[in-house]
Amino acid sequence: MVTYRPVFDPEVPVDPSARCYDLHSHSLASDGALAPAALVDRAADYGVTHLALTDHDTLAGLEEAHDAAVRRGITLINGIELSVRHDGREFHVLGLWLDTDNARLNDRVASQQAARVNRAREIGRRLDRAAGLANSYERTCELAGTDAPGRPLFARYLEQAGRVRNSRHAFNRFLKQGQSAFVATPWCTMEEAIADIHAAGGLAVLAHPQAYGFTRKRLRQFLTAFKSAGGDGLEVAMPGLTRQQTELLNECWQYFDLQVSAGSDFHSPEQKWLALGRLPEVPAGAVPVWEGRLSS
- Domain borders along the chain are 1-10+17-98+203-296, 106-201
> 91 φ, ψ to 5°?
-130, 165
Taking CA atoms, 290 is separated from 2, 111, 232, in Å, by 19, 29, 12
Q: How confident is the model at residue 92 (pLDDT cuts 50, 70, 90)?
A: very high
Q: Which amino acid is at 84?
A: V
pLDDT value at residue 272: 80
Q: How confident is the model at residue 47 (pLDDT cuts 50, 70, 90)?
A: very high
Q: How confident is the model at residue 18 (pLDDT cuts 50, 70, 90)?
A: confident
Per residue in 235-294, pLDDT (tens digit) is 999 999 999 999 999 999 999 999 999 999 999 998 888 899 999 999 999 999 999 886
pLDDT above 50 for 6:
no
Buried b (16+ CB within 10 A) or exposed e, 17-42: eeebbbbbbbbbbbbbbbbbbbbbbb
pLDDT value at residue 144: 81
Residues paired with residue 202 on neighbouring β-strands, in sequence order: none
With a CB cutoff of 8 Å and minimum separation 6, the contacts of 103 are none
- Return d(Cα 168, Cα 181) in angstroms, integer: 14
pLDDT value at residue 244: 96
Its CATH class, for the domain covering 106-201, is mainly alpha
Per residue in 144-169, pLDDT (tens digit) is 888 989 898 999 999 999 999 999 99
**Do 106-201 and 1-10+17-98+203-296 fall under one CATH topology?**
no
Q: Which residue has the higher pLDDT, 14 or 201?
A: 201
pLDDT above 60 for 16:
no
pLDDT value at residue 5: 36
pTM strictly above 0.85: yes
pLDDT above 70 for 14:
no
Q: Any idea which architecture 1-10+17-98+203-296 has in CATH?
A: Alpha-Beta Barrel (3.20)
